[in-house]
Amino acid sequence: MPVTDLPDFAGDLLEEFEARRTVRVNTPVIQPAEPFLDMAGEDLRRRIFLTESETGASLCLRPEFTIPVCLRHIETATGTPRRYSYLGEVFRQRREGSHEFYQAGIEDLGEGDTAAADARAIGDAMGILGRLLPGRALALTLGDQAVFEAVVRALGLPLGWQKRLIHAFGDMAHLEALLDRLARPQPVAGLEPQIAALLASGEEDELVARIDRTMQETGYSTNASRPPIEIARRLKDKLALAETRLDGGALLLLREFLTLRLPLADASSALAGFADAAGLDLDPALAWFDARLAALTESGLDLSGMTYRAAFGRPLDYYTGLVFEVTETGSSAVLAGGGRFDRLLTLLGAKDRIPAVGFALWLDRIEQARDQE
């Protein structure tokens, strides 16, 4: 599909957006790069196209719509709840080899009933795909960032390790590497013997003095962005994380959780059973999960084609709860994907917390699926 040509079903998409009471919005193709570099995740950061303004400000070609739509919402001081839709080009390197392609989607901002909003996002994605691909069997994979975070926190790991594991959610290879390190701690390499000895002794004042002398002698102190005491504390934290070992039972529980994969209708009872057997308090996260499942059921959606996978995440750092993807049954090509991002608007500068959920549609993949009918 030439990127300059909208697909022939664009009119159907716009009708769907209007019927679902969304406000269509467009955003500039040139965007400030910082929000994407800070919040979008390593996978996207590697694939965006960067440039600079005349004043040296870091800019990029629009790699996705969620962050630009949220920034526009904040800048225009629009009240909530508010439902936005979009259809336009995005620019990033893709595994398929293309660099520019069309995306469409809906961002649902400020809906207080998060379970109902989650169910509506899934229903909208499935409903729109059902119109664009009539008669096709669709499969939905659902994960939950909040449930994974609850499991990690309940295991009692240091905060630094919790952040590492949560950051890796959805990247199973990275997660497995971290779990291997927790099973077999590795010493911190590259430390001077005197620094290592001071770290081991716990003498913080002497450690800070030693770092300060080294910085003075090397001339590093004139360009350093951190003072010696902060460097010392970061070294102590790094050493503590490197020496952390997750006992075999806890490691086994975490690995067992990550293997959970079952029909969505059976997921609530399976998660509750896992929590009881493991002795973990996951009640708040499971309550949200159960509320979402009830909302999906009440909305009349067919759960038979939906699968819960505990290890499933999406490669964007801003997700906080629900994550999902839709494919055609028997295909691996993702046609739609999205999730909940309740922290994103606050991080982007909103004065108040704004709950949010949304999804994107990959139009070139949908067109390919239509052509294969």
Q: 154-168, 169-183, 211-225 — which is least confidently predicted?
A: 211-225
Q: Is 103 annotated as a binding residue?
A: yes
Residues of the chain with CATH 3.30.930.10: 10-151+261-371
Q: Is 66 annotated as a binding residue?
A: yes
- 120-146 per-position pLDDT tens digit: 999 999 999 999 999 999 999 999 999
Pick the CATH number of 10-151+261-371 from 3.40.50.720, 3.30.70.3420, 3.40.50.1970, 3.30.930.10: 3.30.930.10
Residue-level pLDDT at 2:
43
Given the structure tokens 């509750």, which residue do they identify? 272
What does the alpha-carbon distance between residue 182 and residue 300 come to, in Å, rounded to a whole number? Answer: 43
State pTM to two decimals: 0.83
Peptide bond into 81 cis (omega under 30): yes
Given the structure tokens 């969620």, which residue do they identify? 66
Q: Which of the four pLDDT bands, split at 50, 70 and 90, describes residue 234? A: low
- Tell me 330's DSSP state: T
Q: Is 83 annotated as a binding residue?
A: no
- 304-346 per-position pLDDT tens digit: 999 999 999 987 788 999 999 999 999 999 999 999 999 999 9
* Beta bridge partner(s), residue 143: 323
Contact assessment for residue 145 and residue 339, using Cβ atoms and an 8 Å cutoff: yes
Residue-level pLDDT at 299:
95
Q: Is 107 annotated as a binding residue?
A: yes
Residue-level pLDDT at 128:
98
At residue 23's C-alpha, the angle toward residues 22 and 25, to 5°, is 130
Classified as helix, coil or strand, 228 is helix
Residue-level pLDDT at 162:
86
Given the structure tokens 């996951």, which residue do they identify? 282
State the chain's mean pLDDT as an integer: 88
What does the alpha-carbon distance between residue 101 and residue 96 come to, in Å, rounded to a whole number? Answer: 11
Contact assessment for residue 221 and residue 215, using Cβ atoms and an 8 Å cutoff: yes
Within a 13 Å sphere around the CA of 156, how many CA atoms are in the beta-carbon half? 8
What does the alpha-carbon distance between residue 189 and residue 79 come to, in Å, rounded to a whole number? Answer: 52
Q: Is 308 annotated as a binding residue?
A: no
For the chain, give the longest Cα–Cα distance: 73
Return the H-helix or E-strand segment holding 358.
Answer: strand 356-362
What does the alpha-carbon distance between residue 212 and residue 32 come to, in Å, rounded to a whole number? Answer: 37
Q: Is 318 annotated as a binding residue?
A: yes
Residue-level pLDDT at 129:
98
Q: Is 86 annotated as a binding residue?
A: no
Is the pLDDT confidence value at 284 over 90? yes
Given the structure tokens 């989650």, which residue do they identify? 118
